[in-house]
């Protein structure tokens, strides 16, 4: 077996090493741009002493706006919230059985799942270092359960490699570790490390590599019962007169390198927000939005489409109409101050008299596009047939990834997979499809990983964020240069208006960023209001 093991070409080896360097570089870049930051939350706000009779209007009942509304009301302000939709929570949104909405273009998206099943159209997982989210969830009684990000029983898939057959994540990890250990042992044995380590160190290093990479006595990574204890057996050990165990075949290094699966492993590990333990609310991510909404319920006016925001030296006047009847009566509300939580994609289309630098900053932040497809199946075949309990499968097909539910494990009956989820160019393609076509495409691709799809499929639903009327995008995208140029201006108090939301944070795309932004906006606005009396 070893004789037929192909050595990697120089290009392949450099590519493999480059993948590792690339992962580190990617992490550093994401940290710089605010995508992998640990939350700065330290303690709850304790705002006190609002000026007598002071009023605040909050525009948008997303988590940033509701956080600000909640904290400012506690400080003694009279607060009113205007929300375009008939619900609060913004992108903290779960589609449940019987839900429906109309997207841009008039397409109607329905959720025909069985009672109790759900689909998170927006956020779907909570990193354990997003402290502000958990602070409010604990305070508001939102129950949490573990979210399984990484599962070695899930798959890595390349349509044009390994005959199109999906490979278990754990198998790929074990084989890469084994092949790299073999390469390192060869480097040690030929004396390449003589100037770096002494003889005793070399012996300990070789012994460590043998154990870490599951190498044989000749420091080779080969198919064996030892490797199968790590990567899994072809026939598992049994009892009685069951068949004897048989080792599984290791994947050749040259094919692993050519497939690019090496890079997919790091999707689970390079960003600290994906490190275990992660969590999700029991019953869907929308439970967080529901909790904030419940706490702020009496402040919110729903179905209010803002049409104009006008400020002067003494206050802010907001004009709005019924979002179900935009040609109807124009209403107005006036307050001393305004917290604006409206996504920038919408806000830049509204008549608002802020300073020229603020307008430029508002227009400088594009929004990423993203798509999600939820697929309900008659039974949880991924558990029953393939022993997959939670985790993610990655593929180079347009569906990009499949996520297995972390809730209701071992339950009889139907279950829901996240059957497609991605960003960028592929997302624009999904945006052009009808709601039904998105489901059909996800099923057509997914069956190459799970052939049970056609027989077991029951219902589907989807969200493509650039066609959601109240956001026109997924989240704000910052580059290092745009942050340097516009971020401070965007977050500043412009006379009597301050913005809030994930776009006004160093953790865009995450609920933590929205909540921290709401807290910070409330604190600074309160300080200015007290100073002016």
380 and 461 co-located in one domain? yes
The three-state secondary structure class of 395 is strand
208 and 293 co-located in one domain? no
Strands 78-82, 55-59: parallel, antiparallel or unpaired by DSSP? parallel
The three-state secondary structure class of 417 is strand
Q: The domain that contains 225 carries what CATH number? A: 1.20.1440.240
Domain-embedded: residue 354: yes
* pLDDT score for 271: 57
Q: The domain that contains 77 carries what CATH number? A: 3.50.50.60
Alpha helices in 214-266 (DSSP H): 225-231, 253-259, 261-265
447 and 514 co-located in one domain? no
* pLDDT score for 399: 97
358 and 376 co-located in one domain? no
**Residue pLDDT, tens place only, 174-211:** 998 888 888 888 877 776 555 556 777 778 878 888 88
Domain-embedded: residue 199: yes
Q: What is the DSSP letter of 236?
A: -
Domain-embedded: residue 375: yes
64 and 116 co-located in one domain? no
250 and 196 co-located in one domain? yes
DSSP 102-145: E-TTSPEEE--PPTT-EEESS---EETT-HHHHHHHHHHT--EE
375 and 358 co-located in one domain? no
Cα–Cα–Cα angle for 451, 457, 460, nearest 5°? 125
Cα–Cα–Cα angle for 504, 507, 510, nearest 5°? 100
CA distance 500 to 360: 17
* pLDDT score for 23: 38
The token duo for 227 is 């490797």
CA distance 357 to 394: 42
Strands 415-423, 370-377: parallel, antiparallel or unpaired by DSSP? antiparallel
Its domain, for residue 525, covers 55-82+287-366+478-532
Query: If you search the block for the tokens 């932004």, which residue do you land on?
Result: 517
CA distance 133 to 372: 23
253 and 209 co-located in one domain? yes
* pLDDT score for 522: 98
Q: How many residues does the chain have?
A: 533
- Name which of 81, 124, 104, 119 is nearest 470 in CA terms: 104
Domain-embedded: residue 21: no
Q: Directed axis angle between helix 286-296 and helix 131-140, to 10°?
A: 60
CA distance 479 to 336: 34
* pLDDT score for 425: 87
Q: Give the burial string for 416-438 (b: 16+ CB within 10 Å, else e).
A: bbbbbbbbeebbeebbebebeeb
313 and 448 co-located in one domain? no
* pLDDT score for 99: 97
Domain count, the chain: 3
Q: What is the DSSP letter of 46?
A: -
Alpha carbon 533 to chain centroid, angstroms: 42
Last residue within a domain, chosen from 419, 444, 467: 467
pTM metric for this prediction: 0.87
373 and 461 co-located in one domain? yes
- Name which of 514, 426, 502 is nearest 464 in CA terms: 426
Domain-embedded: residue 453: yes
Strands 155-157, 167-168: parallel, antiparallel or unpaired by DSSP? antiparallel
487 and 346 co-located in one domain? yes
Q: The domain that contains 392 carries what CATH number? A: 3.90.660.10
Domain-embedded: residue 101: yes
318 and 379 co-located in one domain? no
Domain-embedded: residue 10: no
**Residue pLDDT, tens place only, 36-92:** 456 778 778 999 999 999 999 999 999 999 999 999 999 999 999 999 999 999 999
Domain-embedded: residue 348: yes
Last residue within a domain, chosen from 467, 486, 501: 467
* pLDDT score for 187: 77
Residues of the chain with pLDDT under 50: 1-36
């Amino acid at each position: 077996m070893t004789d037929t093991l192909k050595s990697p070409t120089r290009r392949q080896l450099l590519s493999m090493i480059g993948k590792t360097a690339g992962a580190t570089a990617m992490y550093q870049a994401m940290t710089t741009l605010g995508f992998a930051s640990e939350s700065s939350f330290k303690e709850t706000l304790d705002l006190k002493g609002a000026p007598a009779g002071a009023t605040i209007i909050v525009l948008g009942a997303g988590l940033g706006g509701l956080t600000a509304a909640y904290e400012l009301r506690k400080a003694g302000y009279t607060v009113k919230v205007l929300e375009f939709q008939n619900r609060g929570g913004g992108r903290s949104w779960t589609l449940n059985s019987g839900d429906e909405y109309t997207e841009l273009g008039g397409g109607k998206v329905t959720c025909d799942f069985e009672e109790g099943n759900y689909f998170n159209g927006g956020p779907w997982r909570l990193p354990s270092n997003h402290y502000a989210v958990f602070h409010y969830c604990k305070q508001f009684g939102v129950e949490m359960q573990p979210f399984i990000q990484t599962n070695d029983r899930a798959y890595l898939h390349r349509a044009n490699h390994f005959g199109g057959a999906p490979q278990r994540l754990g198998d790929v990890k074990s084989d890469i570790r084994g092949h790299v250990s073999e390469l390192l042992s060869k480097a040690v044995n030929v004396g390449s490390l003589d100037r770096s380590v002494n003889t005793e160190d070399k012996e300990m290093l070789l012994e460590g590599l043998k154990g870490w990479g599951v190498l044989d006595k000749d420091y080779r990574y080969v198919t064996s019962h030892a490797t199968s204890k790590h990567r899994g057996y072809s026939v598992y050990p049994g009892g009685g007169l069951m068949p004897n165990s048989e080792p599984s075949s290791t994947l050749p290094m040259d094919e692993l390198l050519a497939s690019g699966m090496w890079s997919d492993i790091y999707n689970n590990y390079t960003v600290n927000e994906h490190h275990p333990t992660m969590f999700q609310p029991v019953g869907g991510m929308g439970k967080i939005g529901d909790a904030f909404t419940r706490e702020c319920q009496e402040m919110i006016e729903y179905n209010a489409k803002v049409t104009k925001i006008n400020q002067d030296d003494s206050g802010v006047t907001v004009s709005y109409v019924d979002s179900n009847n935009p040609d109807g009566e124009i209403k107005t509300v006036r307050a001393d101050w305004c917290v604006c939580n409206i996504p920038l994609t919408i806000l830049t289309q509204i008549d608002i008299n802020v300073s020229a630098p603020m307008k430029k900053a508002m227009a400088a932040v594009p929004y990423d596009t993203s798509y999600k497809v939820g697929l309900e199946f008659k039974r949880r075949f991924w558990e029953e047939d393939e022993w997959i309990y939670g985790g993610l499968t990655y593929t180079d097909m347009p569906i990009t990834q499949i996520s297995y539910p972390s809730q209701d494990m071992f339950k009889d009956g139907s279950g829901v997979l996240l059957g497609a989820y991605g960003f960028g160019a592929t997302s624009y393609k999904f945006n052009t499809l009808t709601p039904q076509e998105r489901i059909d495409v996800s099923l057509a691709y997914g069956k190459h990983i799970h052939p049970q799809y056609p027989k077991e499929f029951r219902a589907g639903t989807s969200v493509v964020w650039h066609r959601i009327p109240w956001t026109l995008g997924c989240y704000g995208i910052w580059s290092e240069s745009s942050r340097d140029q516009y971020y401070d201006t965007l977050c500043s108090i412009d006379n009597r208006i301050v913005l809030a939301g994930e776009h006004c944070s160093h953790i865009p795309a995450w609920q933590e960023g929205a909540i921290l932004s709401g807290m910070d906006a409330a604190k600074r606005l309160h300080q200015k209001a007290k100073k002016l009396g």
